[in-house]
A and B are shown apart, each in its own frame.
Chain A
Amino acid sequence: MSKRIEVRDLDVYYGKFHAVNQVNLTVQPRTVTAFIGPSGCGKSTVLRTLNRMHEVIPGAYCTGQVLLDGTDLYAPGVDPVAVRRIVGMVFQRPNPFPSMSIYDNVASGLKLNGERNKQVLDEAVETALKGANLWKEVKDRLDKAGMGLSGGQQQRLCIARAIAVKPEVLLMDEPCSALDPISTLAVEDLIHELKESYTVVIVTHNMQQAARVSDETAFFNLKAQGEPGHLVEIGPTEQIFHNPTQQATEDYITGRFG
């Protein structure tokens, strides 16, 4: 249920704008990899190429390869819709479906996959909500609107929605940036648990968070505004934070950036 990701010679463009230059990296199964770096360096952009979500932006495209256990996501004939069913994503702002109950939100992905059996759905919803540490808080109001939850609960609902379909990989783009410290802690704990079953890639601006949750850290940078971003280095989080090989990484980590 978790796969290795290999990114090879990845270049991403928004129309004429070259956003990311030559990214090469590998993400091992059942690990958490954090993407860090200054704003605009292309963290979200690279993350989105891992489930072809960048393609929903008009004009965006990429070159290179993204291999999921050896299968190229960009090979001809690969359906982006199918890719997104095995590579799930959680966004910066919680985005439960409007006027849909908590239950229906979590079940929505399964229903897209054609699951209609009530018992199967019930079980999957419960498992996903438990997996997202939300079950206890909502088990008595599954039929209430997902929008009626607090921000932190909504984000965990979105995580439940993403893991309900049992994806191979879970991508998270600053999942805690709209949350209070307590909800953030809840989500971080959750990421620790998710690692046991999923490959997780998380973008974060919070250094402590990267240090707390990730096994590997990738540092992205950009030379100047308007220049494409690039991957500076990737390595075990411990090493990136305490003994980086690149000066730019050290500057960024120690706050001597810019």
Chain B
Amino acid sequence: MSNQPEIQSTSRVGDVLFGGAAKIASGGIVLIVLIIGIFLLSNAWQPLLDNSANFFTSTEFRASTKPPRFGVAALLWTTLLTSAVALAIAVPVAIGLALLLTQYVTGRVASAIAFVIDLLAAVPSVIFGLWGIKIFGPAIQPSAHLIENLLGWIPLFGDGQVASPGTVFTASLVLAIMILPIITALTRDVFAQTPRETIEGALALGATRWEVTRLAVLPYGRSGAIAAAMLGLGRALGETIAVMLILSKVARFDVSVFSGGETFASIIARNAPEFDTPYKAGVYISAGLVLFVLTFAVNALARVVAERGKAKS
């Protein structure tokens, strides 16, 4: 009996301190997120009550009319469309690059390619925006016209009434380039962690290099790649300045990728001068609230996918 206290009181001051600090920090982060959410909601509350358009289905967004008329349908469409197209382009390229860097080239060549890709991540988004609207956009106009001519009968590729390169199409491609480095880096890391034994198992069966990739590397890295894509999506959804510089404003909403429009982030940034009254600001904050929920959901989903993958392997 007398020994028991001794057993229990081994010195764990460090553990307790560290555990406490970690708890406080993580609790703090949750608190901050909550406070941001509450801030957004409280500011948007009054305008939302007064809104004379349907917040979820209207494509209008007018903060200055009395009462205000605003809805997120168009913003949601443009935001999701730019991000989805960007992701559809960036993910295959990133996976290809990650496979190239881990399975096909090694040594200096691999480091050189990886360096160039990482360099892309260091370019400020405002530069991407300028480059997108002034150089890249005009350069891809011919291909845009080609697609429009071929597939114009599908509304998604219809004539968007935007003559300039300031289209969803341009914005999506630039976004794809912007999210490419992070997706590539993360997928490369998971692919590189494919256990040597698994790879050799495939090789010993007489698998070619591509078959090794298919049997060992891709199944092993799949959940990691999905998580990386989700993180890239999170970035694309929230990207502001580049999208704002590229997208042209349009008078009427159009679903086409060759139309302009606004995303949640771009409309808020572009209309910052209108935040002169808390009430008008609140109208835009309501859009911010939806974006907040959206990116939060995407990130949470990425976590879940990554965790599930971990548990399995």
A pairs with B: yes
The interface of chain A, by Cβ under 8 A from chain B, is: 51, 53, 56, 58, 81-85, 88-89, 91, 93, 95-100, 108-109, 112-113, 145, 147, 158, 161-162, 165
* Closest 8 pairs between A and B when the two form their complex, measured CB to CB: A85-B206, A89-B204, A95-B197, A84-B206, A95-B201, A109-B205, A99-B219, A98-B313
Contacts of A91 in B (CB 8 A): 197, 200-201, 204
Residue among A95, A99, A112, A145 making CB contact with B207, cutoff 8 Å: A112
In the complex, which range does the number of interface residues on chain B fall in? Answer: 20 to 34
- Judge whether B216 is part of the interface by a CB distance below 8 angstroms: yes
User: Which residue from chain A places its CB closest to the CB of B201 in the assembled complex?
Assistant: A95
Are B205 and A108 in contact, CB atoms less than 8 angstroms apart?
Answer: yes
Contact A85 B201 (CB under 8 A): no
Chain A, Cβ-Cβ closest to B313: A98
Q: Mark B175-215, 1 if CB is under 8 A from A, else 0.
A: 00000000000000000000101101111111110010001
B222 touches A99 (CB 8 A): yes
In the bound complex, CA of A82 to CA of B313 (Å): 30
Contacts A91-B200, A91-B201; A97 near B219 (Cβ below 8 A): yes
Whether B312 is near chain A, meaning CB under 8 Å from some CB there, is: yes
**Contacting residues, chain A, for B206 (C-beta < 8 A):** 81-85, 109, 112-113, 165
- Chain B interface mostly: helix
Are the CB atoms of A81 and B219 closer together than 8 Å? Answer: no
Given contacts A109-B205, A147-B312, A162-B204, contact A95 B106 (CB under 8 A): no
Binding site for A on B (CB under 8 A): 106, 195, 197-198, 200-208, 211, 215-216, 219-220, 222, 312-313
Q: Are B201 and A97 in touch, CB under 8 angstroms?
A: yes
Additional A-B contact list (10), CB under 8 Å, known A82-B206, A89-B200, A162-B204: A83-B206, A84-B203, A84-B204, A91-B201, A91-B204, A93-B197, A95-B197, A99-B312, A108-B215, A165-B206
A84 to B208: give the CA distance in the assembly, Å: 10
Residue of A nearest to B208 (CB): A81
Q: For the complex, give the distance between the alpha carbons of A96 and B312 in Å.
A: 13
Q: Which of A84, A99, A162 contacts B313 (CB 8 A)?
A: A99
Most buried by A among B195, B197, B211, B222: B197
Instruction: Say yes or no: A53 contacts B203, CB within 8 Å.
Output: yes
Say how far A114's CB is from chain B's closest CB, in angstroms. 11
Q: Is the CB of A97 within 8 A of B312?
A: no
Residues on the B chain within 8 Å of A161, using CB: 201, 205
The complex places the Cα of A147 from the Cα of B198 at a distance, in Å, of: 12
The residues of A that contact B215 with a CB separation of less than 8 Å are 97, 100, 108, 112
**Chain A hits for B211, CB < 8 A:** 112
> Closest approach, in angstroms, between the C-beta of A115 and any C-beta of chain B?
13
What is the minimal beta-carbon distance from A200 to any residue of chain B, in angstroms? Answer: 15
A67 CA / B78 CA spacing, docked (Å): 65
Q: Which residues of B contact A112 (CB under 8 A)?
A: 205-207, 211, 215
Cα A60 to Cα B205 in complex, Å, equals: 20
- How far, in whole Å, are A13 and B200 apart by their CA atoms in the complex? 19
On whether the beta carbons of A51 and B204 are closer than 8 Å, the reply is: yes
Given contacts A100-B219, A147-B312, contact A56 B203 (CB under 8 A): yes
Q: What are 18 A-B pairs at a CB distance below 8 A? A: A51-B204, A53-B200, A81-B207, A84-B203, A88-B204, A91-B197, A95-B200, A97-B198, A97-B202, A98-B198, A98-B219, A98-B220, A98-B312, A99-B312, A99-B313, A108-B205, A147-B312, A162-B205
| CB–CB A88/B205 < 8 A | yes
| CB closest residue in chain B, given A56 | B203
Contacts of B312 in A (CB 8 A): 98-99, 145, 147
User: How far is B206's CA from A202's CA once the two chains are assembled, in angstroms?
Assistant: 19
B201–A84 touching, CB < 8 Å: no
How distant is the Cα of A83 from the Cα of B203 in the complex, in angstroms?
A: 11
A112 to B208, CA, bound (A): 9
Which of chain B's residues have a CB closer than 8 A to the CB of A95?
A: 195, 197-198, 200-201
Tell me the nearest residue of chain B to A97, going by C-beta.
B215
Residue in chain A with minimal CB distance to B223 = A99
Contacts of B220 in A (CB 8 A): 98-99
Chain A nearest Cβ from B249, distance in angstroms? 47
Name the residue of chain B whose CB is nearest to the CB of A99.
B219
Q: How far is the CA of A147 from the CA of B312 in the complex (A)?
A: 8
Which residues on B sit within 8 Å (CB–CB) of A53? 200, 203-204
Q: How near does chain B come to A90, taking the closest CB pair, in angstroms?
A: 8
A165 touches B222 (CB 8 A): no
A58 CB to closest chain B CB, in angstroms?
A: 7
